[in-house]
Amino acid sequence: MFEPLKNIKILDLTSVVVGPVATWRLGQYGAEIIKVENPAGDLMRGLGGMSPTGQHSGAYLHLNRGKKNIYLDLKKEGGKDIIQKLIEWADVIVANMRPDALERLGLGSQAIRAKYPEKIYCLITGYGTDGPYSGLPTYDSVLQGASGMAGLALARDGKPTYVPMLICDHVVGEITAGVVMAALMQKQNTGIGASLEIPMFETMASFVLQEHLAQQSFEPPIGVAGDLRLLSPHNQPVKTKDGYISFTINTDVQVKAFLKITDRTEFLSDERFQTVASRAKYVSEWFEIRGAALDSKTTKEWLEIFRKVDLPAMPCHTLETLTQDPHLKAVELIDFENHPTEGKTAVIRSTIQVDGVYPSARSSAAPCGWDTKAILHDLGYSDEEMESLINENATFQFTVSK
């Protein structure tokens, strides 16, 4: 079992996607995670799509595996008492609420680390706290626009477009998990905790600019911003007789092979397309040739031809065909299990092999308040104290109705 974070305890004060992605990844590496939900519950329970009970969207299920769950009303005295015990219990606190809301609840970085300097406190913000946008509300689509990501489609297609998945949340969530692990290494070496801040706007702007600052990376600039290959309107999946195929050809050897198998041999001696440098100079003309339809054959037929000459190509899947891909089925990426309230639900296993073994997908994402009494017991509360807290509505224990 690959569990390098087995003895690390994480208090998860996150919701929706970016924070849950980060803590889910840490849980994949063995960390013990307690997820706190307020009376309204994590918005993603319903926002992420339909479910049999309306409380466990597919997205919520997949992003919250391996987490114990406790319901707390932090406006109640009992809830405040429990959260303080959870902070004392945790090695790492991860939050993605607005900084001012955390401060009002006494859960800001300064307050916690003044009392517990050895803790690692990780705050995911929409915008860095030292900039003029600090504290503004945001969501993934807002950040796709602000970071220039949607504007990439404007440069290519004449119209800005959102990537139809929560790409900013996923990218920043994965980066956050890496930063937390780096801070844990520092603590192991020095015994010192850390206050971490991961601003989504700056992180995604950096993500875009690493590729698309391009010719503007020099002083003076030597051309316009943007990777002109990626911004070509012809840089799209290519139409075949019965669907689409996705391929990329970059090296001189690959280009020659492509021109031969697609019967475009008249371009083999064209100086514009002989080398990487020349194709970069005539990128628009090259991508128009590369992106022309291949509608004389089916996708399957083209894939066989591409693979014979070792060119990278795959079918352009739909959401329906992706789960039926023979490779994904062979490696058993998706399995099913029984959920306590939702019936049979999909499990997406870890994609990372360690010593030839895939780490456990860990336990299913639980109903709100599923682990409340077990968590309170471990924190030292008596049965009478638990019942008092439940009667006060400071907390709640979920039970499956029979």
What pLDDT tens digit does each residue of the chain (402 aa) get?
A: 889 999 999 999 999 999 999 999 999 999 999 999 999 999 999 999 999 999 999 999 999 999 999 999 999 999 999 999 999 999 999 999 999 999 999 999 999 999 999 999 999 999 999 999 999 999 999 999 999 999 999 999 999 999 999 999 999 999 999 999 999 999 999 999 999 999 999 999 999 999 999 999 999 999 999 999 999 999 999 999 999 999 999 999 999 999 999 999 999 999 999 999 999 999 999 999 999 999 999 999 999 999 999 999 999 999 999 999 999 999 999 999 999 999 999 999 999 999 998 888 899 999 999 999 999 999 999 999 999 999 999 999 999 876
**Structure confidence at residue 43 (pLDDT):** 96
CA 264 to chain centre: 41
Q: Vertex 323, ends 317 and 326: CA angle to 5°?
A: 85
Phi-psi region of 41 (alpha: psi -120 to 50; beta: other; left: phi over 0): left
CA 106 to chain centre: 28
Alpha helical stretches, state H, 109-166: 109-115, 140-146, 149-157
Contact (CB, 8 A) for 291 and 236: yes
Q: In which residue ranges of the chain is CATH 3.40.50.10540 found?
A: 9-207+332-396
**Structure confidence at residue 300 (pLDDT):** 97
Tell me the CA distances in angstroms from 170 to 56, 246, 389, one per residue in order.
19, 23, 36
Q: How many helices (H) and strands (E) does the chain have?
A: 18, 12
Rg (C-alpha) for the chain, rounded Å, is: 25
Q: Report helix, strand or coil for 372.
A: helix
Q: The whole model's pTM is what?
A: 0.95
Q: How many CB atoms lie within 10 A of CB 260?
A: 12
Q: In which residue ranges of the chain is CATH 3.30.1540.10 found?
A: 238-315
Q: Which of 299, 143, 269, 271 is nearest to 208 (CA)?
A: 143
Residue with tokens 């590369």: 290
In a 10 Å sphere around its CB, with 0-12 CB exposed, 13-18 middle and 19+ buried, how is residue 109 labelled? buried
Residue with tokens 């849950």: 20
**Structure confidence at residue 401 (pLDDT):** 73
Q: Which residues contact 62 (CB under 8 A, 6 or more apart)?
A: 346, 348, 365
Q: What CATH code is assigned to 9-207+332-396?
A: 3.40.50.10540
**Structure confidence at residue 95 (pLDDT):** 98
Would you state the CATH architecture of domain 238-315?
2-Layer Sandwich (3.30)
Rounded to whole angstroms, the Cα distance separating 168 from 141 reads: 8
Rounded to whole angstroms, the Cα distance separating 90 from 88 reads: 6
**Structure confidence at residue 402 (pLDDT):** 60
Tell me the CA distances in angstroms from 91 to 20, 68, 69, 77, 258, one per residue in order.
17, 16, 17, 24, 54
Contact (CB, 8 A) for 33 and 339: no
Rounded to whole angstroms, the Cα distance separating 301 from 325 reads: 16
